[in-house]
Amino acid sequence: MDASYAGSAAKALILRADLLPRKIMDDLLEASSPEDMLTLLEGTPYTDEIRLLKPFFNGYELLEVSATRRMVSLIGEISKAPPANGRDAIAAYTSKWDMDSIKSIITSKFLGKPLSEENLFIVDPGRFPVGIRGSVLSLEDYRLMMNENDMDGIIKYLVKLGYGTYLMKYVEEYRKENDISILIYALDVSYYENLIRTLKFFRGDEESLRHYIRQLIDIRNLMTVIKARELSLEFSSITDGIIQLGNLSLEKLRQIYEEPDITAVKKTAMDHMHAEYGDEISAMTSGDVEIRLKRATLKWGFSRLAIQSGSLGSIFYTIIMAENERNNLRTIFSGKAYGMEKEKIRELLYFNE
């Protein structure tokens, strides 16, 4: 097996040059209409995506879907070149969009509400950018799941595709409690266990990437702790919802939960992740805290992965940058569509500087 990432890392470095410069992002934030934004994106790598999508979308929706398609295209190109274990790791990471769509289907079935394909982030073999290339699930898979009569049918279908193993472990508890969060937890455990497993030591320089993934798990666990404390739930009632694959142990999470008050809980959580905050911490919502935790994790990941060369970490650096660009663009486009103030939108963005 070829253990070298040199060629694929070099390709990722070249593709990184196609990401938008900060000035265009700032100009998009200042723009007053979708038309002005489209003009700003002319001549950038988004031009082809916009041209292909114009027959199907317009306005802010055209911009948002173009951002998704561009990210999909970049990650698709990056994922072609690495050795087999690198491709497995990329596929495992990007399967989170499969997971999100599966959760949407499960939730809609549980609530008895219809769900359209447009609500899913899924694969389409044509030009519609509604998914991530390399996804395990196809458009037909999603259609079949949405047409299942009940939750058991969806679970059985997912078992055939390799996604249902963890669901089967918790299905009896779900039937007993009629609590959909049990199934959501099972999917999250499945996702992170598979991702950690694919990031095995192949060349010996994967630890920074593994640590970054464990930080993502820490954020999920810390938000579970914060929300439980806000709702005055006992810590024992949330231990089954903790994914014990992160950097913070169950005992450390318990210590954070047992801080004197909710402000102290939030402060300690952010301190553990080296997140920045000011004197307004007492007024922060849990959503504000989550934004800061994610920003701190991105900052850590970018600073560590950027210095790796010819490695899986350097490839993931480009993938995460592409994902962050898409998230920033979607935040700008949706914020503008809903009439948010520029400064409020700016607070939700993160730039690797």
If you write DSSP's letter for every residue of 195-227 in order, what string do you get? HHHHT--SSS--HHHHHHHHHHHHHHHHHHHHH
Domain 206-307 is of which CATH architecture? Answer: Up-down Bundle (1.20)
* Residue 319 pLDDT > 90: yes
At the top level of CATH, which class does the domain 1-83+327-345 belong to?
mainly alpha
Q: Do domains 1-83+327-345 and 95-200 have the same CATH topology?
A: no
**Is pLDDT at 128 greater than 60 in this prediction?**
no
What pLDDT, in 10s, does the model give residues 71-116? 888 888 888 777 777 888 888 898 888 888 888 888 888 888 776 6
pLDDT value of position 133: 42
313, pLDDT greater than 50: yes
- Amino acid identity for residue 325 in this structure: E
Global pTM? Answer: 0.88
Convert the pLDDT of each residue in 189-227 to its tens digit. Answer: 889 998 998 887 666 678 899 999 999 999 999 999 999
Domain residue limits, the chain:
1-83+327-345, 95-200, 206-307
Which of 180-194, 241-255, 274-288 is most confident? Answer: 241-255
Contact 93, 319 (CB under 8 A): yes
Q: What is the mean pLDDT of residues 312-320?
A: 91
Say yes or no to pLDDT of 118 above 70: no
Residue 130 has pLDDT above 60, yes or no: no
Alpha carbon distance 145, 105 (integer Å): 8
Of 1.10.8, 1.20.1690, 1.10.357, 3.40.50, the CATH number of 95-200 is 1.20.1690
Instruction: Pick 164 or 3 by higher pLDDT.
Output: 164
Mean pLDDT of the chain: 86
Amino acid at 57: F
Number of DSSP helices (H) and strands (E) in the chain, helices first:
17, 0
